Copies of this chain bind each other. A is one copy, B any other.
Amino acid sequence: MKVTMAHGSGGESTSKLIESVFAKHFHNEILDRLEDSAVVDGSSKIAVTTDSFVVTPIIFPGGDIGRLSVCGTVNDLLMSSSTPKYLTCGCILEEGLDLDVLDKIIESMAQTANEAGVKIITGDTKVIENKGGEPGLIINTSGVGFIRKDVEVPGPFNLKGGDKIIISGNLGDHHATILGARMGISNNICSDAAPLVEMVSKLLDNGIKVHAMRDVTRGGLGTVLNEFASSSKCQINLYEEALPVSDAVKDFCGILGLDVMYMGNEGKMVLSVAAEDADRAVSLIRSSKYGENATIIGDVVKVNDDDDIKGVILNTKIGGKRTIGLMYGEGLPRIC
């Protein structure tokens, strides 16, 4: 069976679609009320975020748009040192989408939400015409997290001189997966789409002084670190040798001339951590799910005058220095 325009009418067909797909998989005591607004317990400080997912293809090695849509929003909430609690699910379906495919994607969302410990509490479904190509879907997830009272909220403006820069694992996997899938190349690479709940909890529970953290998505590590450097008026020195990249991704980048500094991940984060806590932070991340390749990749030098800001400098394997600027241009469209 296929999605029809009638599924977006707001009438009987919409109700049936919601019951047979969304309510079936998302089932919880809040969502089951199927009200336009979900009423839930709050907290004195909350984090709110939103993200729309337009990735193509919608199913790819290591994940699908459903898993991605939960991971992206959960990770955004985690990065503000909040505990992710609630997600919304706004689906825009293209006419002709196979209902079995939709079912699989919504099931994947439900499983990922379960893994991340969040509840999907309300949703909305619209249908638009398919103007060409394989019918797809777009998912918006917005999220609410409760701010942890025991930790200071870090931010990109909060890097300190002497901090160590830590990455939670290998770079480039999601990007290489999507590009490979779109080119029809079987490159044996899987998306790293993952919720980073465990590693963030461990870091904060153990009092690691995290000065900034950010998930590495669209725009890649280069984009995040540039924002860190300019917001905190500091220079970040990276060591190319230390950057963790799998052999498969390295080979793929080599063939296509891709720069791993600007490739997106969906289950990685980069942190700026007080030097004295850095080794312990790496250990804590490595002992967490999805963190086995965590490592220190650079350090922070504070500068006092605007003129001294050098941004992000990559110390290359052959002893050179390369400035890592902001990504310019298209990157890979519809990577997330």
Contact = CB atoms under 8 A, between A and B. Distances in A.
Interface stretch (A21-29, A98-106, A118-126, A194-202): A118-126
B42 A45 contact: yes
A133 interface: yes
Nearest to A140: B140
Contact of A144 (B10, B133, B144, B156): B144
A88 interface: yes
Contact of A128 (B38, B54, B123, B223): B54
Given A52-B92, A331-B11, A131 B128 contact: no
A147 interface: yes
A51 interface: yes
Contacts of A245: none
B329 A13 contact: yes
Contact of A88 (B40, B48, B331): B48
Q: In this complex, which of A124, A128, A144, A155 has the most chain B Cβ atoms within 10 angstroms of its Cβ?
A: A124
Interface residues of A, number: 81
A37 interface: yes
A40 B333 CA distance: 32
Contacts of A80: 35-37, 39
27 contacts: A9-B330, A10-B218, A10-B264, A10-B327, A10-B331, A11-B328, A12-B327, A14-B219, A35-B156, A36-B51, A37-B49, A37-B77, A38-B47, A38-B48, A38-B49, A39-B45, A42-B43, A42-B45, A50-B122, A50-B124, A52-B90, A90-B90, A90-B142, A92-B92, A92-B138, A132-B132, A144-B144
